[in-house]
Amino acid sequence: MPAPDFDAIIIGAGMSGLYQLIRLRQLGLKARVFETGSGVGGTWYWNRYPGARFDSESYSYGFSFDKELLQEWSWSEHFAPQPETERYLNFVADKYDLRRDIQFHSRVTAAAWDEASLTWTVTLEGGAQHSARFLITAIGALSAPTLPNYPGMESFQGRAFHTAHWPKEPISFEGKRVAVIGTGATGVQTIQEVAKTAGHLTVFQRTPNWCAPLHNRKITPEEQAEIKASYDEIFRRCDETFSCFLHTPDPRATFEVSQAEREAFWEKLYNSPGFGIWVGNFRDMLTDRAANAEMSAFVANKIRQRVKDPKVAEMLIPKNHGFGTRRVPLETRYYEVYNQPNVELVDTRATPITEVTPTGLKTTEREFAFDIIIYATGFDALTGAFDRIDFRGTEGRTLKEAWAGGARSFVGMMVPGFPNMFMLLGPHTALGNIPRSIEYNVDWVSRLLGHMQAAAKQRAEAGEEGTTAWMAHVMDCAVGLLSMEVDSWMTGVNRNVAGKQQRVIARYTGSAPAYREWCEGIAKEGYREVALA
Ligand code: NAP
C-alpha cells in the first residue's frame, strides 16, 4: 500500500489551522494545510468589511503559546481592527515559516476515509486528491456566509457584497446611496462606519439587537509596557473566566442589591470597555426573567437617551428578547448614526423586502434606489462549514447523514464513525473568546496525537458512550438559559437556510473551565472514551 502523501491534512489557514500546523511540526508530523483564500487569517482574511474588529481585548485575543511572540507583537488598540489582526496572523505565519506547508487557492470539496489503508483522501475543487493519516478541520464556526433568498438578487446593477466576502480593494461610499441589510454584530459595525461617508444610508432591520458601547481606544506606550509585563496574569485570568474573556459574572444576584446600587453597577458597566456588560453582569442576568427585564429596561433607556427621534428609538429597542440573550454587538456611536440626516431605518418586519431590482430593492411599501447593497446577513453557523464539504466516514456514511437528527460530537472535537478526524471548532466545543478555545483544542488534539505516537496507535475513533455522555452534558448546560428561548445562530436558527428554522441546542453553553475539566478527564484516563487501535 503506498504511503499517504502527508501525516496530516488541515483544512483552513485561520487561527486554528496556523496553530495546529505549528503543533504538528513539533510532533515531527508532515502536514499540509489547504486554504480556499489567497492568504492566511480565516475570519480575518474574509471579513474585511468596513469597521470590522473584534470585541475581545486585543491582548486577550492573540496567541499565548510563545512568550517571544507576545513580546514581539504590539497591538495598537484595545480592540484591534481587522487589518491589524490580519497583519498579526501574517506576522505569525512568517515568524514560524508556515507558508511552505500551506497551499492557497485550494478549496476542499470532499474528504473520504478508507478503512483498509487507514487514511483520509481529500479532494480539492478541480479534482486534485491528497491523502493523509489524520484530517483536521480548522474551518471555523462562523465561516459559511448566507444570503437572503429575495427574487431578483442577480439583477441588481450596482455593487452588492456579503460582509464576509468583502473585496480587497477599498470601496468608497462617498456620495453613494447604500443599503445595509442585517443588524447583527457585523451589521452594527458596518453601519456605524459606512454612515460616516455615505451620501445616504438605508438600514434594513428585521430584529433589533441590544448593543452596548465598546469604548475602544489606542493603547498608550505605558499601557503597552504594562500589557507586555502582565501576559501571564492576563492568560491566567482568561483561563479562569466563564468564556475566556477578561470579564466574568459578578457573584451577586440582581435583586440582592438596592436599586441604586444596581443602577450604579450597570452605569459603570455601560461606561467600561468590552464585554463586561454582557458576561460580567450580575450572575442571574441571563437566567432570571425579572433580573433580565430590569437590565433590558436600563439599556432601553440608554437607547432612548441616545436616539433623538422617539419613534426610531423604539424601533431600535428589542421587544422579542431580553438583553444578552443573543450576542450583544458592541458599538461605537451606533445609535447616534440614526440622528444623522443621511440615515434612515426601515423595519422589515413591518414592511418586508419583496424583491431586489436592477436599481435597488422593493419593500411591501416602497421602492428604493441604491448604488451599493451590503448583505450583513450572517452565517450558516456551527455546522454550515461542515455541510459544504462531503465528509465520508466508515462505510461511506456522510457527516450530513450522521448529523441528520442534529449535530452530535464528542467534546466538539470528534465524531463516532469518522476516525482520525479532529474538529478544532466543531459543534459543541467551548466558544467564547475564540482563540483561547482554539489553543486549548489544538493542544488537546496534539496531545492525543502524541499519545498515539508513543503507543504506536494508528486509529482513533470517538466512542458512542463518551459521545452520548458529552451530548447529555451539553443538553443539561442549556437548561434554564433565557437565550434558549430566542432565535439566533446560537440556537441554530437561520431563516435563509432550509432545515434551520427550529431552535436546537446548537452549542455548548457551559463554562470553558468545565469544558477543559471534562477534556482533561478524558486525557488523564488514557483517552478511555476514544477507541485507539
Ligand atoms: P447575525 O448575528 O446572524 O446577524 C445577521 C443579521 O442579518 C440579523 O440582523 C438578521 O436578522 C439579518 N438577516 C438575515 N437574513 C435576513 C433577511 N432575509 N432579511 C432581513 N434581515 C436578514 O450575523 P453577524 O452579524 O454576521 O454575526 C454573526 C456572529 O459573528 C456574531 O454573533 C459574532 O459572534 C461574530 N462577529 C463578531 C464580531 C466582533 O467580534 N465584533 C463582529 C461580527 C461578527 P434576524 O436577527 O431577524 O434574523
Q: Would you place residue 96 in the very low, low, confident or very high pLDDT band (cuts 50, 70, 90)? A: very high
- Cβ of 376 below 6 Å from ligand 1: yes
- Cβ of 303 below 6 Å from ligand 1: no
Task: State the Cα–Cα distance between residues 412 and 499, nearest whole angstrom.
Answer: 21
Q: Which long-range contacts (CB under 8 A, 24 or more apart) does 523-530 make?
A: 523/444, 523/447, 523/448, 523/451, 526/451, 527/448, 527/451, 527/460, 528/466, 529/410, 529/462, 529/463, 529/465, 529/466, 529/467, 529/469, 530/410, 530/414, 530/448, 530/460, 530/461, 530/462, 530/463, 530/466
Pocket test for ligand 1, best of 188, 206, 346 (most atoms within 8 A of CB): 206
- Which three cell numbers mark 374? 451590503
Instruction: Give 461-488 pLDDT, tens digit per residue.
Output: 999 999 999 999 999 999 999 999 999 9
d(CA 272, ligand 1 centre) in Å: 24
Which pLDDT score, from 0 to 100, does residue 528 have? 87
**For ligand 1, atom 41, which residue shows the shortest CA distance?**
54
- Cβ of 468 below 6 Å from ligand 1: no
Q: Which long-range contacts (CB under 8 A, 24 or more apart) does 432-435 make?
A: 432/242, 432/243, 432/244, 432/245, 432/512, 433/56, 433/60, 433/61, 433/238, 433/243, 433/244, 433/245, 434/15, 434/56, 434/141, 435/15, 435/56, 435/61, 435/62, 435/63
**Is the CB of residue 49 less than 8 Å from the CB of residue 375?**
no
Average confidence (pLDDT) over 35-60: 98
**Is the CB of residue 445 less than 8 Å from the CB of residue 394?**
no
Which residue stretches of 58-125 are H helix?
Answer: 58-61, 67-72, 82-95
Residue 349 scores a pLDDT above 90: yes
The residue ranges of DSSP E strands in 189-309, in sequence order, are: 200-205, 212-213
Residue 2 scores a pLDDT above 90: no
Pocket test for ligand 1, best of 183, 355, 377, 380 (most atoms within 8 A of CB): 377
d(CA 378, ligand 1 centre) in Å: 4
Residue 1 scores a pLDDT above 80: no
Residue 374 scores a pLDDT above 80: yes
d(CA 261, ligand 1 centre) in Å: 34
* Non-local CB neighbours of 384 within 8 Å, separated by 6+ positions: 143, 144, 146, 494, 497
- Cβ of 142 below 6 Å from ligand 1: yes
Which SS3 state, helix, strand or coil, does residue 331 take? Answer: strand
Atom of ligand 1 nearest to the CA of 185: 25
Instruction: Give 303-338 pLDDT, tens digit per residue.
Output: 999 999 999 999 999 999 999 999 999 999 999 999
Instruction: Give 378-396 pLDDT, tens digit per residue.
Output: 999 999 999 999 999 999 9
- Cβ of 348 below 6 Å from ligand 1: yes
- Cβ of 332 below 6 Å from ligand 1: no
Q: Would you place residue 356 in the very low, low, confident or very high pLDDT band (cuts 50, 70, 90)? A: very high
d(CA 146, ligand 1 centre) in Å: 10
Atom of ligand 1 nearest to the CA of 164: 26
Which pLDDT score, from 0 to 100, does residue 341 have? 98
pTM over 0.95: yes
Instruction: Give 141-158 pLDDT, tens digit per residue.
Output: 999 999 999 999 999 999
Which SS3 state, helix, strand or coil, does residue 88 take? Answer: helix
**For ligand 1, atom 29, which residue shows the shortest CA distance?**
185
